[in-house]
A and B are shown apart, each in its own frame.
Chain A
Amino acid sequence: QSVLTQPPSVSAAPGQKVTISCSGSSSNIGNNYVSWYQQVPGTAPKLLISENKKRPSGIPDRFSGSKSGTSATLGITGLLPGDEADYYCGTWDNSLSAGVFGGGTKLTVL
Chain B
Amino acid sequence: EVQLVQSGAEVKKPGDSLKISCEAFGYTFANYWIAWVRQMPGKGLEWMGVIYPGDSAARYSPSFQGQVTISADKSTSTAHLQWSSLKASDTAIYYCARHRTTITSRPDYFFGMDVWGQGTTLTVSS
Contacts and interface: CB of A to CB of B under 8 A. Distances in A.
Interface of A: 2, 32-33, 35, 37, 39, 44-47, 49-51, 56, 86, 88, 90-92, 94, 96-104
A32 B116 contact: no
Contacts of A46: 116
Contact of A99 (B99, B102, B114, B119): B99
Interface residues of B, number: 29
Interface string B31-63: 000010100000011110110000000011110
B113 interface: yes
Contacts of B95: 44-45
B47 A100 contact: yes
Interface of B: 35, 37, 44-47, 49-50, 59-62, 95, 97, 99-100, 102, 107-114, 116-119
Given A90-B47, A98-B47, A98-B60, A47 B113 contact: yes
